[in-house]
Structure 1
Amino acid sequence: MPSSYKFREDLIANGRIAPSRKWDKYFETTENTVCGSPSAAAEIVLGRSANGFVEWQTAEGHPLRDFIDGPQSGPTRTWLVRGSNVAGFDLVQRLWRPDGLVSLAAGHLREAEPGISKAELRTFVDEDYESTLTYNQRLQLVEELHAFLSKMKPGDTVCTISQGLVYVGEIIGDAEQVASDGGRSNLRRPVEWIAEGHPYEDLPEELQQKLSIQHDVVDLTAVAGLVAGLGRTDEELEEEARESPEDVSAEIAVLARRELELPEPTVELAEDLLVHNVDWLREVRDLLWDERQLVFYGPPGTGKTYLALKLAEFFGGGPQQVKLVQFHPSYSYEDFFEGFRPIEDPQTREVAFRITDGPLRELADLAAREGNRRIPHFLVIDEINRANLAKVFGELYFLLEYRNKSVRLTYSGNDFALPSNLFVIGTMNTADRSIALVDAAMRRRFAFVELSTRAEPTRGLLRRWLAREDHDTEPADLLDALNSRIDDPDFLIGPSYLMKKGVYRDGGLERTWRTKILPLLEEHHYGEGLNVGQRYGLPALRTAIKPPADDAPVPE
């Protein structure tokens, strides 16, 4: 903030903030300094833009906003309030829609004024519900009651679900606490409901994710545009945006409903990747679009990782939308998604365990940010079959199949859904573990695409590369002869070993064959007593592709 920055610089120039004599590379105040707002004070301390109601916290971690009385100000919000199964009653049909209200059950809560601070409300709930709710249940109740009493305000949008339909309305008044039968609806707000409901199954996937969160009150502001567009066509929304340019809700709804697209593969991409035709790339794109998860599998050296990264960069629009993860036998859920890890405090040098995000959580949060939701993001998992997948994915296995749902996370306890614009491409080396050993749960959640020397685009890849690089075709002939002698298709040798510049220096082919290819085959035939060099060595293969003349000596 320019004003806060200037104030901070003036304080330093006037000596009211000076280098600390106790903390190296830190400043300290030399006198009391009055700021115009909590945010201005936080920005001076942190040296960046900051929300003071969140940044200022007690030693227990409670933010300043918890101690502020009165209704919350700011832009309008969108909320979900559940009322279809409250103590066995469907309040939506019996009370909310006929009487024009929304309610929340709080039968044991003493009288609480609208706009009550979260700190005071926490005290009320701890005392009033001590014998009826567990500690975690009381924490959740505080969040829901505070949202209903202090965060909601007239002008906010509210949604609810009943009998497979989603109903939308607008809050038109303040909260009040009344007596009700069994305390099922004693906290109330007046609402003007739209009569028409919207079938749940027809809602956008991103909205279904939020509506599946199992709380009585959920903040839906992140998908407010999707809610605003329910029941209206794109043409109606665009016309409304033109007629009322000062009201951005219609424009936001149009942008929110814009379809995510994966770009059409091009001839140039096929030529760059040396793929035999564009139709194969289109099929890969369609599989990604339909399944969201795909695995390239095949023998070593078939270009699985290279192809996965290149396609991810093309479909995502650049490398900044792609994250690579390497699986291994000791990889775990805590490494992949989130878990407690030791973190050192830079000031005290003390070590404490804190919940830390893994690569999937980081990429999912990036993809879900405002402005990123219509941009494809890709997670490439190399050697996906080398880890214990059930252990690594945990409850996320469910989300791979049901992208329109949310789950409660193991460590943080937050509700989480995989963004619709997050795609996963895995690679699987069949020489390490046959695809037949992959469990049914993974098979059901991923599309499998084979990259093998038996079929295109891998079969002719080396010959296309040799032609582009203006090399002789002998390496391709030798590779074909080699693979014709290997009985197990999972151990066929891919062309990437022979698609490197070092192979075509003096002695490079022989060196690569001796140090890269033959060791793989020795491992494959370990314990069989087979002379690998005699069967798969270059002299034997050269003889096979070009038999010697009758008077020429036969190589041993």
Structure 2
Amino acid sequence: MSDSYPAFQLRLPNGGPVAHGRLLAERASGSQKFVIGAGSPARSEVVPSFALGATTSYRLRQQLIEDGTIRPSDQWPGWLEVAADVECTSPSAAGSILTGSIVNGWEVWKAADGRPLSDFMEQVWWGPNRAWLVRGADVAGLDLVQHLWLPESLVSLPATQLRPRAEQGMSKDRLRSFVNEDYESTATYVQRIQIVEECHAFLSRMKPGDTICTISGGQLYRAKVTGSAEQVLSEDGRSNLRRPVEWQPTGFPYNELPEELRQKLSGPYDVVDLTTVHALITGLGLSDQDLDDDAEASGSTPGTGLPPITARRELALPEPDQSLADELHVHDLEWLQELRDLLFDEQQLVLYGPPGTGKTHLALQLAEFLGGGPGRVKLIQFHPSYTYEDFFEGFRPQEDPISREVAFRLTPGPLRELADLASREGSRHIPHFLVIDEMNRANLAKVFGELYFLLEYRDRSVRLTYSGTDFRLPPNLFVIGTMNTADRSIALVDAAMRRRFSFVELSPRAEPTRGLLRRWLRALDRDGEPADLLEALNAQIDDPDFLVGPSYLMKKSVYREGGLERTWRTKILPLLEEHHYGEGLDIEARYGLDTLRTAIRHRRDTSTA
């Protein structure tokens, strides 16, 4: 039977020599056996994760070295060599023994034309390895992990009613028809949907080399899938679907797991895709030095994916420096550092104040500095008709590019898009920022919906209204909002929003806004009269929500011929007319440039007298 398969080769890491072997038809624990050919090279050292993550293969390698079957090579100095054929329980075990690391044998063993071993199997396994949670304690309290899985090197899934013809690699559509018929009288419609999802993942999406996790006795146990799924008769119906795996003998305390991993493990389902936290799972039990050694020793070994040391990097926000303070014309570097600390601690911040105080500019510049550039910053603006569907996700009419038919399709909003970007593997230690301008112009409770909860509890997830999936806000997503107190009083913001955001006021009567225009003018070597006029103007305004910010006078157009007068007439005075609407006040007489200049001269004359 093995003659139907070609010879297979494995290139050792870092451009090493090539080993050879052959696949057998005979099976062991659900996987086809594989023979390492005599004369094959093997790496002399192992990576730190090998002994911890593939204990059985590690012990076999050590035994083969001790009995001389694997010994120092004369042909390849610095390498080991296999003196006789070695029969292994799976291609992955054979590849791991030779490379001294955990590999997916179905991908690393290749035919002479470069095709992986998986191409020659009836079941095609494609794509990178994934990680899965499979629960092993049923409702009756029997812990299958300790009673069945660990002793017999398997993982199982109950499928009591499922007909015997369920098989490895079957399509979801075919499986759905089986489940709908077989469970029609014993499961609800929603339950049948979940049975289809879990059985399809177990039968057709899992593949050799994938990682399996389970929880038992407050410990997380980890294993590698070594073979195909099969359906067997089970006396109690608890383990009808089975897969052979190689379990790591010791567990990891659940309470000591990374927070992101614990959140993924807290879902209610029996089978959960954990691929987004695969690197965190790989790094369990290893020090940072071990992970560095792993990455260096693995070289170009296929299937290694994102180094676990990268996934474990801590989220950090850079400290503001004096160059940023100078660029923003802030009076004190410590003030910027306080904003950074508030964001790092609370993850949500609101800048509020009258118009023209530079709230949006400051929010964008601070976000781009802390996020490392504009690519990780998204700006949106709220308005009275803004909705949850605009903000997060909802159904929108879209035209099919081929049929030209219009249909409603679930479309992500800016928050969902940014959250998905921040959650990508390799990005979790990188801060991302959502800047919401004019935040209080929308109905906040309506726009945020169930996301209100997630703003306060970043380690929890909620079931989404439209997609029906579980969602959490990643810890590396920060929100900066701006609120214009002249447009709508900040007092109208409800207590729930106040509790979830830190609020920082930008007032023309306090730093850094009070002296911003004067510092800007000084940096450009311009006359300080506009700053004097602005201070005189705000001294005449009683309502702090209607003070005028310096941004109106921080534009090039103001300093062209007649620019100051045009800006005052067309920008600033109309603001004050709205403020005093219905009072019959002569705005020009009270706030005009001539009036203010006269007041400034009088104040100077008085101070020098």
Question: Shorter-chain TM-score category?
Answer: 0.7 to 0.9
Q: 1:129 aligns with which of 179, 183, 199?
A: 183
**1:508 maps to what in 2?**
563
Q: 2:198 aligns with which of 126, 133, 144?
A: 144
Q: One-letter code of the match for 1:106?
A: A
The question of 1:108 aligning with 2:161 is answered yes
SS at match of 2:170: coil
2: CA distance between counterparts of 1:461 and 1:549? 22
1: CA distance between counterparts of 2:560 and 2:359? 26
Deviations 1:277-336 (A, max 9, x none): 222222222222222221111111100011111112222222222211110010011111
- Contact 1:212 1:406 survives alignment (8 Å): no
Residues 270-289 of structure 1: pairs in structure 2 closer than 5 A:
270-289=325-344
SS at match of 1:410: coil
Shift of 1:191: 4.1
**2:285 maps to what in 1?**
231
Shift of 1:123: 1.6
Change (3 A) 1:333 1:88: farther
Residues 352-431 of structure 1: pairs in structure 2 closer than 5 A:
352-431=407-486
- Contact 1:210 1:406 survives alignment (8 Å): no
Change (3 A) 1:471 1:119: same
Q: One-letter code of the match for 1:120?
A: R
The question of 1:79 aligning with 2:132 is answered yes
Residues 375-524 of structure 1: pairs in structure 2 closer than 5 A:
375-524=430-579
Shift of 1:120: 2.4
SS at match of 1:106: coil
Q: 1:160 aligns with which of 214, 220, 223?
A: 214
SS at match of 1:109: coil
2: CA distance between counterparts of 1:300 and 1:347? 47
1: CA distance between counterparts of 2:133 and 2:243? 13
Q: One-letter code of the match for 2:195?
A: L
**1:20 maps to what in 2?**
none
Q: One-letter code of the match for 2:133?
A: L
- Contact 2:158 2:238 survives alignment (8 Å): yes
**1:48 maps to what in 2?**
none
1: CA distance between counterparts of 2:542 and 2:535? 13
The question of 1:70 aligning with 2:108 is answered no
Q: One-letter code of the match for 2:578?
A: E
Give the fraction of aligned pairs with identical amino acids, expressed as a percent: 71
- Contact 2:354 2:549 survives alignment (8 Å): yes
SS at match of 1:449: strand
TM-score where L is the length of structure 1: 0.80
Shift of 1:69: 7.5
SS at match of 1:472: coil
The question of 1:240 aligning with 2:294 is answered yes
- Contact 1:482 1:536 survives alignment (8 Å): yes
Q: One-letter code of the match for 1:290?
A: D
1: CA distance between counterparts of 2:513 and 2:271? 53
Change (3 A) 1:86 1:360: same
Shift of 1:438: 1.3
2: CA distance between counterparts of 1:422 and 1:280? 22
SS at match of 2:479: strand
2: CA distance between counterparts of 1:347 and 1:177? 42
Deviations 1:360-394 (A, max 9, x none): 22222233334444432221111111111121122
Q: Which structure has the larger Rg over C-alpha atoms?
A: 2
Shift of 1:121: 1.4
Shift of 1:195: 4.5
Q: One-letter code of the match for 1:217?
A: V
The runs of 5 or more residues in structure 2 that have no matched partner are: 1-120
SS at match of 2:538: helix
Change (3 A) 1:155 1:521: same
Change (3 A) 1:543 1:323: same
Shift of 1:95: 4.9
SS at match of 2:356: coil
**2:257 maps to what in 1?**
203
The runs of 5 or more residues in structure 1 that have no matched partner are: 1-67, 551-556
Shift of 1:145: 0.3
- Contact 2:311 2:425 survives alignment (8 Å): no
Change (3 A) 1:405 1:534: same
Q: One-letter code of the match for 2:550?
A: P
Q: One-letter code of the match for 1:302?
A: T
Most deviating of 381-390 and 158-167: 158-167
SS at match of 1:379: strand
Change (3 A) 1:349 1:203: same
Q: One-letter code of the match for 2:527?
A: D
The question of 1:175 aligning with 2:203 is answered no
2: CA distance between counterparts of 1:535 and 1:165? 74
2: CA distance between counterparts of 1:365 and 1:237? 27
Residues 323-338 of structure 1: pairs in structure 2 closer than 5 A:
323-338=378-393
Shift of 1:436: 2.5
Q: One-letter code of the match for 1:214?
A: P
Shift of 1:163: 5.3
Q: One-letter code of the match for 2:213?
A: C
Deviations 1:251-273 (A, max 9, x none): 71111112233223221111111
Residues 37-52 of structure 1: pairs in structure 2 closer than 5 A:
none
**1:40 maps to what in 2?**
none
Change (3 A) 1:530 1:181: farther
Q: One-letter code of the match for 1:544?
A: A
Most deviating of 327-336 and 177-186: 177-186
Shift of 1:461: 0.3
Change (3 A) 1:233 1:456: same
Deviations 1:198-239 (A, max 9, x none): 344443343234323432211112221110111211012222
Shift of 1:471: 2.0
- Contact 1:363 1:379 survives alignment (8 Å): yes
**2:174 maps to what in 1?**
120
1: CA distance between counterparts of 2:243 and 2:190? 26
Shift of 1:246: 5.0
2: CA distance between counterparts of 1:400 and 1:85? 34
**1:10 maps to what in 2?**
none
Shift of 1:460: 0.9
The question of 1:532 aligning with 2:587 is answered yes
TM-score where L is the length of structure 2: 0.73
Q: What do you get for the CA RMSD once the two structures are aligned? A: 2.7
2: CA distance between counterparts of 1:521 and 1:133? 67
